[in-house]
Amino acid sequence: MNTTGISRRVARRSVVSATTALAATALAVTATVSAPAIAGAQASAAPGPVTLGSLGPGSADAVPQVLPAANRLVAVGGSPTGLCAGAVSTTLNGNGYPGSSSVSWAFAVVGVGPCDLTATLSWRNLRSGESGQKVAHIPHPRISTGVPDPIAHPYEAIISTGSGPVEYRLTTTGGAVAGPVVVETAAWPG
């Protein structure tokens, strides 16, 4: 009796089932975090015993922060490994410190195994032409507001952009792109 064909089919079904489940989960999370809905409606729509708080530390705060809002960039997509998907967002504040902006990171990335996702926030001062980048690494599935991971200290959230209008774009190594958005940065007093 030839069981090789049967064994291969059973193994293939397991892989297909796992891939299908992962894809469905990624699609559900991506749809949830990219839909412009209010946070209360999302929290009450969670099925069964799963709550936002049960997804990890900071998850109840992170999900509303990956929804579209003023001065926020949201990049939705997968990871370079193809095993993770979700959203990465940056909320920008030009009034946090004179001549500088501050960025708040949030991410809702689900999946299996390493994500190896890198998000890059690029900025350019439209008045001075000065430019730069801030980078956040998301090594594994995570739902978080970004402190301590991907940034080690809140000081790292300060961006010395100079005063005036600053244009921001957010990209990920998974191919997601958001922006541009222009945020006015406060000048030094005096």
Return the higher-pLDDT residue of 174 and 148.
174
State mean pLDDT over 160-180: 96
pLDDT digits (tens, 9 = 90+) for 66-106: 889 999 999 999 999 889 999 999 999 998 678 999 998 99
Q: Is residue 142 pLDDT above 70, yes or no?
A: yes
Give me the pLDDT at residue 36, please: 36
157, 103 contact by CB (below 8 A):
yes
Name which residue leads in pLDDT, 147 or 161.
161
